[in-house]
Amino acid sequence: MMCELPMAGVPADGAGLTATRKEAHMCKVLIVYATKSGCTKGVAGKIASTIAGPGVKVKLASASDSPDPTGYDAVLVGSGTRAGQWHESAREWVAANAATLKSKRVAFFTVGLVITKGAEKAAQVRGFTDTLIEQTGVKPLDIGVFAGWNEPERFSLPERIVMKIMHAPKGDRRDWVAIEQWARATLQTLAA
């Protein structure tokens, strides 16, 4: 990145750093997400709150709002899945900004409930991200895959029927610890 992360040993509140030193280390990170039920927005928010702090300024934005990735040191992009692919707004945003993203340090994350059904399903969901990479040429430095939720009241009737046919487990299956660990490790990868 064009910036540096705070040095190891600096307290989380940045105490001991001069204002100039704090500004010199400020990294700007854009986190873009696409969601239909709100699940991926929650994951993106957890990633944002995990990495934001001294030396890291984070902007969280919906892909449907068409945020401009110019001016950011790193960009994380994530989407929930429907019918074996990322949401259309995320796919379109990555494609529209591919030239800029190719010059940035980028990570992708995908959220899908079927991940809870084992390694084979997790690999399948990971494959949805590979399709996007092939289509856009944007090569992320890291890719996260996370379980989502089955909160029937947040889905349309056809989606609820599909979830029932799939025997999708009900409830919120997001693993907040795994999301936080990935966010911290990915920030270090993007800063390397």
- Measured distance CA(76)–CA(37) in Å, rounded: 20
Dump pLDDT digits (tens) for 84-96.
789 999 999 999 9
For residue 82, which of 139, 166, 138 has the smallest C-alpha distance?
Answer: 166
Q: At residue 183, what is the residue type?
A: A
List the domains of the chain with CATH numbers. 23-191 (3.40.50.360)
Band of the pLDDT at 20, cuts 50, 70, 90?
very low
Q: At residue 190, what is the residue type?
A: L
